[in-house]
Structure 1
Amino acid sequence: MSLDADLARHEATIQKLESARNDLLRQLEELDLKLLSEKAQYSQLRNHKVAIHALPNELLGLVFGLAHSSLRFDRPGHADAQRLRFLVHTSWVCTRWRQVILRTPLLWNTIAMTVFNGFEGYAPAQESLLAHLERSGDAYLDMDFFLATDDPKDFLPFFDIIGSHSKRWRRLSVEMQIADIPIVRKVLQNLEVPKLEHFSLNIWETSEKGPFSPRTPYPTIAPQIFMKGATDLCLLRLAGAALGSLHPQSTSIRILHVGGWEKSFFTWAQFRSLLESLPSLENLSLHELCIRHNTRNPLDQPAPINLPNLRRLRLHSPFTPIDRILPLLSTPKLEQVSLRTFETFESPVMPTVTYLHLNECAFDDVHYEDLFASFPNIQHVSVDEYAYLLYNMLRHSLPPVNDATTAPNSNSNANSNSTTCPWSSLHTLTVRDLSSSEVNVFVEMVRQRKEAQVPIKTVRLDRRGRNVVRLKHKWDQLAEHTSVVSWDGAESWPPGLGYEDPHDLV
């Protein structure tokens, strides 16, 4: 009996202690909750003493917007992740900041996103896109998408989601690895886009695929999307399979980017019809374009293309020799020409052109002579490390120093100099990635042109150029003969665009 009594006594004691322990744990949990609540209230009250708390919500939202927009990266997926992470982490600071972020539409109206395979059945990706669209309220939308999916089932839900907000589109850039053209056309055909200013569509491949050779003409250049009109559309980019299949209904375009596709070519009639259908066209960029206008009859010359308002022309790696195209363009107001990845260049004389931009153009002496002849009135040239032969060419035909200095005030001497030296009107030279081996020739060219009374008044150098000039101990000598300006910014095209173009082909 004594053993049973001891067991019962110990059992009762254990139950009593466990009950007391549970009570203490419950009290501790309640105490932890009270402590967390007090800390939260303390932190909230303490936030009122911070200077930033005195900012009104509107100004605080502006600060967040500036920080958010500064997060720019090369790839849309990284940009989207960084910007979203900023919004999430900032909203954790306090309740007020969270409310400001969620209720500021301009923090959510810029969307950069990569759409991967399985978008149709992947709820988090769709919810993220929907959250941006809903939180942006009625603000305009600037959207940049890269569709890395090759599943046609992903196209419809994606375009349905963004298409339901088409009336708020301001800038839309879409790059697709592969696309079903009829599906994309059907989705975009009747959308209303009253605010759309920038539309870029680049399709690498179609779902039909097929051989790369021989090339076939583009199907059509007739409008097939936005059939209700895009009256505010200023910038249009069509590249790859989008060209010839998904042209918008608009005549207000001022900036046109055309990117060729290795399976197709423009007939001259198509190319002419496309350009002349845009009466307001001021900026034209042609990227890897194939244009065929040759006929069996040598007397059958294609009709020229009249571009009365064109001011800037950019050419990048054309499949068709440029000397077959430029003579057929009538451009009475052309001011700027940009060339990229050229090895040869021939063109008729263009006296109105005053600005020339060269990028990765490995010209030899003969082709620089052609440039001098084609663009006699150049005032500003922008070059990179590929243009190392240009510096010697700019010294070509300069009069001897003693002749140039004997009568510095002689008008006849100045006129003689201007007629013999290349680009006598050149006053600004922008140099990117100046090589250390070319510093001496470059500085000597600047000196000699000044002494010959055809000076380069301004030289713009990037960081590398400034460093190599200093390392060669030529800075003082260069600064003695010209004004040296720091120039580290990227040259946008066209100049003065005012915003970042995420899918610029060049």
Structure 2
Amino acid sequence: MKLPPGPTGALKDKIFSDALSQWPSPHILTPEEKEEIRKDASRYLAIAHQIENEQREIHTQPLLAEIKARLTFARQSYMLRNFRLFRINDLPTEIICDILRLAIWDSMRRPVNARLWITWTCTRWRQISLSDSTLWNAIWFQGAGPKVDRAWAWFERVRHSPLDIRIDGPQDSDDESAVVDLSKESVVAVDMRQMFLRVLTRLRNLRMLIVVVDDWQSALVVLDLLKTHRPSGVPLLQRFELHRGGLKNEDRQTLRWPGIVAQPFLGGAVAPRLEYLSLNGVPIDWSGSVLKNLTTFDIRRLPSNQSPDTARFREILCNCPRLQKLSMDGAGPLFETPSGKQPPIDLPHLRTLVVADFSLNYAMFLFSQFRAPNVNDLTLMNLCGASYVPLFLQITASFPKVRLLSAYSIQFEVSPLGSAAMIGWLDSMPLLAYLRVANVRNEFFGLFLRAPGSDEKPVAPTLATVDIQAIEPRVIVQWAKDRREAGAPLQRIYISEELGGHLDDEHIKVLTSICVLAKLPRGATTPEEEALSVFP
């Protein structure tokens, strides 16, 4: 080859820096400027092609270092100049629009910044993005000042497209009086009223509305304003969530609620497309609310005087034949003694079931109200204060298709009869592949092991992945070894960061010799969980 060697290091950086310094300030290039840049770039591209052609002729020999440097320099020089042409802008506007949508919504961790960066790139991209209302219809009202101002700017850019809105109200105090004077609105509630009144000017365009507040007044303002807009309807609303935080250690038996009169959801209006409803610590008038055709029904933290009666609860289930997720966390129908035995409601499409924070008798009553043989993801939480063995006997064989099981704070009688009942319950879920567990006794893990010398197949023979929040290190190590010896070894164990800090080098050595060991940040979703969550 007769090409001179390519510059490297500081010399190459200086050449590129000098080239950049000679460029004029950013502006729309004229046809003459584009042609000049194209010719300059093509010169370096020709050099790169010449080196590549020579290499093909002597492919059995590696390039000399100085020639390889020349090839790298030629390619980088070409890209430096060709980039100025920004040839993506030669594409039709509708193609660029599709590309920008993909770029923004694939940036799930930073969609806010992604949208801003798009508008800062060039004049044409800014014009295209501002004219595409679908880029701005996911709006998050959070905090105050510039963030809220930016959210309102996006609110205006949406125009008449469907709106997906989340509102996080200011944090309130953890201390909440047993008696709340609702006649005295707080500043928080006043702010929420003004904000929500403006949001409701686009009520007919709302597709998703999620509101998270910490004070009573703001939560009631939301329900009250939705009721007053009943005549206009909500034709596009598909998902509604209202979460009231504020109280800690709040349970169904000790709720301290102000004297309020519950209002019908949406004032009794019909939301024809509503599929997802989540009410957390807020009341509605169940008899006056139109609730049907839901695919997700999520209720949490309701005292008995704000709960639907059993007949209304069963009516809601019957009116939602496509229900896929049912979550009842400290909330459910009134605990009533039926005059006659009522058959359970069939929920054939239910795939996710969450039952949490109930007494033994109430939990048994609740499970008697429905039948859901196709549940894939079962969560049982805060079932403690007594031995729940009768409940597990009741639901044995009720969920044969469960693949994901979450067991948090469940209590059972540690005895031969109690253990046998619990093992029978686990045996009735032969497809179990993923176990999430926290705050259980060490004996819980022993349920997954047969008695020594047993000829039966292992308990949960397909169990491969475990997500453990807290446990004595020696217990998890011994359990992993016992599962391997039983012929049903674990493939992966996820541990919390706190538990990871309690494992010593020997524990880690043993566990990693058996399976993959990984730390799982709080709230994260694992690949195995995502794969198993896909309905078969």
TM-score, normalised on structure 1? Answer: 0.65
Confirm or deny that 1:144 pairs with 2:166. Answer: yes
Q: CA RMSD in A?
A: 4.6
1:140-187 deviations in Å (ceiling 9; x for gaps): 322111244846655554344333333433322123432247732434
Q: Which amino acid aligns with 1:234?
A: E
Structure 1 contact 44–94 (Cα < 8 Å) conserved: no
Please state whether the residue corresponding to 1:134 is helix, strand or coil: helix
Q: 1:229 aligns with which of 267, 271, 281?
A: 271
1:78-100 deviations in Å (ceiling 9; x for gaps): xxxxx3x7655764565445434
Q: Which amino acid aligns with 1:140?
A: P
1:4-38 deviations in Å (ceiling 9; x for gaps): xxxxxxxxxxxxxxxxxxxxxxxxxxxxxxxxxxx
Confirm or deny that 1:280 pairs with 2:322. Answer: yes
Task: Quickly say closer, same or farther: Cα 1:483–1:270, change in 2 above 3 A.
Answer: same
The answer for unaligned runs of 5 or more in structure 1 is: 1-38, 73-82, 117-121, 206-210, 405-415, 499-506
The equivalent of 1:311 in structure 2 is: 351
Structure 2 contact 280–301 (Cα < 8 Å) conserved: yes
Confirm or deny that 1:361 pairs with 2:409. Answer: yes
The equivalent of 1:102 in structure 2 is: 130
1:130-141 equivalent positions in 2, closer than 5 A:
130-141=152-163
C-alpha displacement at 1:110, in angstroms? 0.9
Structure 1 contact 395–448 (Cα < 8 Å) conserved: no
Q: Which amino acid aligns with 2:208?
A: R
1:286-328 deviations in Å (ceiling 9; x for gaps): 1222643345xxx845634413323321023236742332234
1:216-365 equivalent positions in 2, closer than 5 A:
224-225=266-267, 227-231=269-273, 233-244=274-285, 249-262=290-303, 264-289=306-331, 291-295=333-337, 300=339, 303-309=342-348, 310-318=350-358, 321-343=362-384, 344=386, 345=388, 346-347=391-392, 348-351=394-397, 352-353=399-400, 354-358=402-406, 360-361=408-409, 363=411
Task: Quickly say closer, same or farther: Cα 1:360–1:44, change in 2 above 3 A.
Answer: farther
Confirm or deny that 1:44 pairs with 2:90. Answer: no
1:197-228 deviations in Å (ceiling 9; x for gaps): 222123569xxxxx9669999968x7654734
The equivalent of 2:451 in structure 1 is: 398
Confirm or deny that 1:441 pairs with 2:475. Answer: yes
Task: Quickly say closer, same or farther: Cα 1:486–1:271, change in 2 above 3 A.
Answer: same
1:45-104 deviations in Å (ceiling 9; x for gaps): 6998646933344366247614764238xxxxxxxxxx3x76557645654454344334
CA distance in structure 1 between the partners assigned to 2:267 and 2:469 by the alignment: 43
CA distance in structure 1 between the partners assigned to 2:532 and 2:200 by the alignment: 26
Please state whether the residue corresponding to 1:43 is helix, strand or coil: coil
* 146-155 vs 282-291, greater mean Cα deviation: 146-155
Aligned-residue identity in percent: 14
C-alpha displacement at 1:267, in angstroms? 2.7
Q: 2:239 aligns with which of 185, 188, 198?
A: 198
CA distance in structure 2 between the partners assigned to 1:60 and 1:257 by the alignment: 36
CA distance in structure 1 between the partners assigned to 2:325 and 2:200 by the alignment: 28
Structure 1 contact 469–475 (Cα < 8 Å) conserved: no
Please state whether the residue corresponding to 1:315 is helix, strand or coil: strand
The answer for unaligned runs of 5 or more in structure 2 is: 1-21, 30-79, 90-95, 171-184, 247-253
Q: Which amino acid aligns with 1:377?
A: S
CA distance in structure 2 between the partners assigned to 1:214 and 1:469 by the alignment: 41
Structure 1 contact 190–226 (Cα < 8 Å) conserved: no
CA distance in structure 2 between the partners assigned to 1:66 and 1:464 by the alignment: 30
* 277-286 vs 132-141, greater mean Cα deviation: 132-141
TM-score, normalised on structure 2? Answer: 0.62
* 157-166 vs 60-69, greater mean Cα deviation: 60-69
The equivalent of 1:451 in structure 2 is: 485
* 125-134 vs 483-492, greater mean Cα deviation: 483-492
Q: Which amino acid aligns with 1:372?
A: I
Structure 1 contact 434–464 (Cα < 8 Å) conserved: no
CA distance in structure 2 between the partners assigned to 1:303 and 1:424 by the alignment: 33
Confirm or deny that 1:173 pairs with 2:156. Answer: no
1:360-418 deviations in Å (ceiling 9; x for gaps): 41646637665434343232342344246156414654324xxx7xxxxxxxxxxx323
